[in-house]
Amino acid sequence: MSIKDNLLRLRESVEPNATLVAVSKTKPISDLQEAYDAGQRHFGENKIQEMTDKWETLPKDIHWHMIGHTQRNKVKYMAPYVHLIHGVDSARLLKEINKQAYKNNRVIDCLLQIHIAEEESKFGFDQQELLELLASKDFNDYKNIRITGLMGMATFTDDQEQVRKEFKSLKTLLDHINENNLIHESHKLKTLSMGMTGDYKVALEEGSTMVRIGSAIFGSRA
């Protein structure tokens, strides 16, 4: 099937309840252009340099999502244009994003990454760290970032019930923050970024509003 066919098929199951982010990392410009021509506007990359090269080449109405682990020293390269940073996993990274957003006269939307998987390799805040961050003075002084939701990656396993439990925990955490007004009103926790090619259907059932799908659109990576 073509990229266009894959996108049309996925949109039927994802939209209108969630945003489909096409994970285009390592894929050539021609593949992204094909997806763009099929109406796709949200693209996800995991390397800032590669994303910047693509941003410079492709149409300017694309929304670029930084979905990988973000190095603080690279934030300045994407600060002029990035639409949403998914993997904010430390207070130090948040501080750097705020600084670079200020230099570019922007407010940059971010998701806080929560560690929901059993694997140690995944990045993110645990629940206690998150609540401490939200209550901190530094966090509430930042004027050039807007936290729009949470992101999490489930354990890489065939056990669908474990995956479901992890996604459910993230939705519960988001609801807990909103219902108890634990975040300043300048931030709006509406986005729940969870679900990839292998588990997006479970994620949608558990309340995901944004899924990150690559191989089901572009084919497997070399």
DSSP state of 198: T
Q: Which amino acid, residue 36? A: Y
pLDDT values of the chain reduced to their tens digit, one per residue, 222 residues: 899 999 999 999 999 899 999 999 999 999 999 999 999 999 999 999 999 999 999 999 999 999 999 999 999 999 999 999 999 999 999 999 999 999 999 999 999 999 999 877 668 999 999 999 999 999 999 999 999 999 999 999 999 999 999 999 999 999 999 999 999 989 989 999 999 999 999 999 999 999 999 999 999 876
Alpha-carbon span 169 to 208, nearest angstrom: 12
Task: Please report the DSSP string for 58-115 in residue order.
Answer: S-TTPEEEE-SPPPGGGHHHHTTT-SEEEEE--HHHHHHHHHHHHHTT--EEEEEEE-
Q: Which of 71, 28, 29, 63 is nearest to 46 (CA)?
A: 71
Q: Which domains does the chain have, with CATH numbers?
A: 3-218 (3.20.20.10)
Alpha-carbon span 111 to 149, nearest angstrom: 5
Instruction: State the pTM of this model.
Output: 0.96
